[in-house]
Amino acid sequence: MNEVRVSESESIGLDLQSGFRELIKQFAEMREFLEVELAVHRDLLERAGSGFQPEHSAPVSPGAFACRTRKSQENPGSPGLTSSKSKVLVVDRSSTATLGSIAEDKDERSEEFFPGVSPRILNQKLKFKEHGSRHSLVGQSMEPYRARTQKQAAKLRVSKHQVKINMEQRSTDCRSLVATIVGSPVFTLAITMLILINVILLGIEVDVSANMDLTEVPGWFSTVNGIIVGFFVLEMVLKFIALGFREFWCGPEAAWNAFDFAIVLASVVDLIMEFLAYFGSSTIDTGNLRLVRSIRLARAVRGIRVVRLFRYIPALRTLAVSIISTMGSLFWTLMLLVLVFYFFAVVITQLVTDHCRDLAILDSSRTCPELLKKYWTSVGESMLTLFMAITNGVTWDDAIRPLRDVSFVAVALVIMYVTFAVFAILNVVTGVFCNNAIESASADKEIATIKQVRVKDQQVESLQQIFQEIDNFNQTQVTFEVSPVAQAARLCEKRSVQCMAASEAFSILRQNSPQHPPYGLYPELISGSAFTVPRAKNRYTWAYRIRPSVQHAPYAASGYEPWAHATWVSPPFHHPCPPVQMRFRPAPLPSQGTDFVDGAVTMAANGSPAAQDGCSANTYAMTSSMSSKKRFLRVADGDLLILPQEGTLQVRTECGDLQVEPWELVLVPRGLTFQVNLAEGTSMARGYFLENFGDHFVIPELGPIGISGGLAHPRHFVAPKAQYEELDGEFELVSKYMGGLFRSSIRHSPLDVVAWYGSHVPCKYDMRLFMAINTVTYDHPDPSIGCVMSSYTSSPGLANVDFVIFPPRWLPAEGTFRPPWFHRNCMSEFMGLITGSYDAKPDSFLPGASSIHNRYVPHGPDAAAVQKGTDLDTSKPERYSGTLAFMWETRLVLHPSEYALATLHDEDYPAAWRGVQKRFDAGASPPPSEPYGFPPSR
């Protein structure tokens, strides 16, 4: 122990003694505080089992202060502080030296070193005034020991706090362990079995003791009963520890907990009463007998806890919930039956009473028959008889026999009552009860949760079996050499497992191109617009596929073979384009084996696919699916708008399949690979399709029509669900590029997209859902009112191509020539007819045919339509039904193809207007003046 002594000196003043006295007093207070803190820590550490045993400080005289400083040492058995060196500052009390006065320093920083110490100690910090070297000597000597004291106190406070945290952590771990035990299925099953054993034992005890004297009842019943009650008490204690007081009484299971607590409490009271009854006195007197009977009754109440089984057995819970839910219906059913009983009982009792009175008047010796007295002499007896008659309490034939001597009316009333009650009331009530029971069982959340958990467990078990089948070599891992996606899908389908679709799995991805995509697929971006276009016009699709599409092409550039198609051609055309009205007959049905690509015929076109401007109007006729030739098509020149006119199509795309029938359209964006097949049950198909070389189709702005509806609604456009195939073999890919057709051989199906998301996707639309807008006053509106989609240009309002339809609609305009007017248009029109007749040419324009009215070429209704529109009574509205015509209107001249002009051109088309009569008469009287096209007075 190192000591520092300040010896006596005659030169030191008397004030040193008083200063040291104050200093020793403060040190004593600090020592007392530290000893208390050490005692607290020792007690806490001993409780926590840390093995910390601090040394007891030797008593220090008032003139000396000992401050022990410990260095922590690692001890596996006791993680605490061990022995250390000590340094003691010994101050001789006999000193008479004076070094000046000692002042108080109320430094607020003292709280940092002594948290929790009384303010009196915290606010007393010695500060020596610097009056010379002696003052500096004492101050410098005292400062190290005071700093060490402060540091040791802070260390002890931290240690105390750490011990408190450890104890709380251990308490939390213990509570978590108990919660795990209480929530385990094994614990629940054990308690359930214990409840069943308790109920069974209760029945055995009652049955055995029924024929015995009280003193002869076996004692082991009480022993087993006490053991069972002990387990129930242990259950309550564990639940209370696991849930805590608040969660136990106020949590979601509070009702069941209160129920269990009440039953267990009654069981404990039962044991106490039994103890008092059998051991309270040496003899069993009358009071003890009453107590024993009360015990038996309380023990029987414990059997109510079997209701707890309803929570764990769904079948019992369903029955219980169903019965409880029908209590209301049961009450009102009983009320209805009571009213029916009462009504019939009053009438029948009155008839029986009058009959008995008549017997007494006619012969005073005769009394009312016994059977009548038994069943019908009072309203109460009659109601009871009627109730038993429909519940097999009495044969209603026995009840009706004595009424035969009373009156035919009484017999008829009973028969009417039985018929009404059995065939009407009871059947209806049964139906109402069953309906309420089904609804309540379906609405019960816990039953639904139990069912979902069972389904989930079954699916997990099935998936485990599936992956065991995939793991052919028992390597506990699945390799990608056996096509796990397709194999797992087939096995899931085989086992009827509802697995998450791959598209749903990809929907949770937080990035487009992860380093390791699910299922080992390849992310691929298909962009339908430039990267920097405004977001509203951005078109793209992220596809996750089995192989990247770079493998869809041949392995060499020479693998692409140009295909000089005879009928499917692209502009620009260099043959003359006549400035007349043109109509084309429907294409004849092709020979067998003609698919969509083979049967495509270009009718007219404009612009240039290379310049991404204009469009191409085509027809198709097919008797075979593209799948029969293992052929796929990819059009890079423009979007394809396909309109079936006859026969249903199955359009298979990279994004999924769409089935399209007449009255529907399908839009396939440029750049996507697809396949057009005949739907099941379809032997041939034909229709129209448009190649839009310009900007993508969009639905038009509604303007004053408003946002609530009108024209084509976005929600009616249906995109396909991801559907893929994983097929290897020899396939043909036909590419339309820069107006030319190319074909090549590929070694697998390109429809291998497992999941996708984006906006550059195919879609279909049912044109029967189009909300047609029309005039309800006068005049024929412009055909643009029927626009479904439009491909815009850079000039506002000027379309590259508009798609307009003329669906079924009402024409109510009065005093109006209802067919389309004669006109010449700056736009060029391609007309087609899906079904029915076109109002401007009702007799001469056939489904499947087409017509072209180019820029400023005059056209309008034919002679028959003019005559009909002139003679029509416009005071009555007219409904056009069963018709669907369409128009592709484009800003550029539609140049018919050489094939269309040579083989399908109807050269007699201009003759349709030859029958239009000249009606001008300069001498005729003008019609009555009518300022309004739609007279407001009518």
Cα 539 from Cα 528, distance rounded (Å) = 5
Residue whose token pair is 């005034």? 129
- Tallying the residues shown for the chain, one arrives at 938
The answer to whether residue 41 is catalytic is: no
CA 291 to chain centre: 59
Strand, coil or helix: what is 113?
A: helix
CB atoms within 10 A of CB 713: 14
- Rounded CA gap, 117 and 290, in Å? 65
Spatial neighbors of 884 by CB under 8 A, at least 6 apart, are 663, 767, 805, 806, 807, 808, 833, 834, 835, 836
Is 628 within 8 Å of 728 (Cβ atoms)?
no
What distance in Å separates the CA atoms of residue 163 and residue 884, rounded to the nearest whole number? 85
Peptide bond before residue 115 is cis, with ω within 30 degrees of 0: no
Tokens representing residue 884 in the block: 């669907």
Best CA proximity match to 850, nearest among 596, 619, 667: 619
Cβ atoms 635, 654 nearer than 8 A: no
By CB atoms closer than 10 A (0-12, 13-18, 19+), residue 665 is buried
Q: What DSSP letter does each residue of 405-441 carry, written as one string?
A: GT-HHHHHHHHHHHHIIIIIIIHHHHHHHHHHHHHHH
Alpha helices in 210-283 (DSSP H): 220-250, 254-279
H or E element, residue 789: strand 787-792
Please tell me the distance from the alpha carbon of residue 35 to that of residue 59, in angstroms, as a whole number: 11
**832: which DSSP letter?**
E
Return the percent helix, strand and coil in the chain, to nearest 5: 45, 20, 35
76 φ, ψ (degrees, to nearest 5) = -60, -30
Q: What is the phi/psi pair of residue 184, to 5°? A: -75, 150
Query: CB within 8 A of 841, min separation 6: which ones?
Result: 861, 862, 864, 865, 912
**What burial class does residue 466 get, using C-beta atoms within 10 Å of its C-beta: 0-12 exposed, 13-18 middle, 19+ buried?**
buried
CA–chain centroid gap for 598, Å, is 46
From residue 283, give the alpha-carbon distance in Å to each of 219, 280, 701: 17, 9, 101
Max CA distance (Å), the chain: 155
65: which strand partners?
89
Contact between 714 and 699 (Cβ < 8 Å):
yes
Cross-strand pairs, 771:
711
Task: Identify the active-site residue in 780, 859, 895, 905.
Answer: 780
Nearest-CA neighbor of 112 among 79, 144, 80, 154?
154
Distance of alpha carbon 201 from alpha carbon 162, whole angstroms: 52
Rounded Cα distance between 600 and 619, Å, is 6
Is 544 in contact with 511 (CB distance < 8 Å)?
no
Residues serving a catalytic function are 780
